[in-house]
Amino acid sequence: MSRKKRYIQNLTSREIEALKSGYKNGLAHHFRNRCQCILLSFEGNSVSDLCQFYEVSQLTIYTWFNRWESQGIEGLQIRPGRGRKRKLDFDNSDHVKQVKKSLKVENRNLNQLKNDLATELNLEISKSSLRRFLKRLVTNTNDLENA
C-alpha cells in the first residue's frame, strides 16, 4: 500500500505571480530554486521527480512545502543567524569601547593590540579578525563623521 502523494495545491493567481517573480528576479539561487519547486509541484510534478531535479532529499522538498504553507513566500528564504558568530562584534558597545581604548595606547603594533584585547575582553582573536574589525570600525566612523 503506497502513501498519498503530496503536491502543492490551491495556489491563487497572486501567489503564482509572486512565485514566478521570485523565480525570475530573486537574488539568491536557493530562493529561485524553491520558488520554481513550488510551481513545479503545483503543475503536478511528484516529490520524487523534484528530488531528482534539484538533487536533494525528500525531506528537503517536504521542508520547502511546509515552510511555503506556513509562511508563504517569505518561508522560502534562508533564515538569518546561520554561520559562525563574530568574536568581535561591532554591535557590542563593550567591544567597540575597548578597541578604541586600546588603540589610543597601542596603534602601531597589531600583535600588541591583539594581546591587549585578549586580556581585557578575555577572548582569543586572530590578527585577521582584528584587522577586519578595525577596517569596519574606521569605515563606519568615517561615514558617521561625513553625515
Instruction: Count the Cβ atoms, other than its own, within 10 Å of residue 50.
Output: 20
**DSSP string for 118-139:** HHHH-----HHHHHHHHHHHHH
Residues of the chain above pLDDT 90, percent:
45
Q: What is the pLDDT of residues 88-137, one digit of tens each?
A: 888 888 888 888 888 888 777 888 888 888 888 888 888 898 888 888 88
Q: Where are the domains of the chain?
A: 13-76, 93-146
Give this prediction's pTM: 0.63
* Angstrom distance (rounded) from CA 82 to CA 62: 21
Q: What is the pLDDT of residues 36-51, one digit of tens each?
A: 999 999 999 999 999 9
Instruction: Count the Cβ atoms, other than its own, within 10 Å of residue 54.
Output: 16
Specify whether the CB–CB gap between 32 and 23 falls below 8 A: yes
pLDDT of residue 76: 94
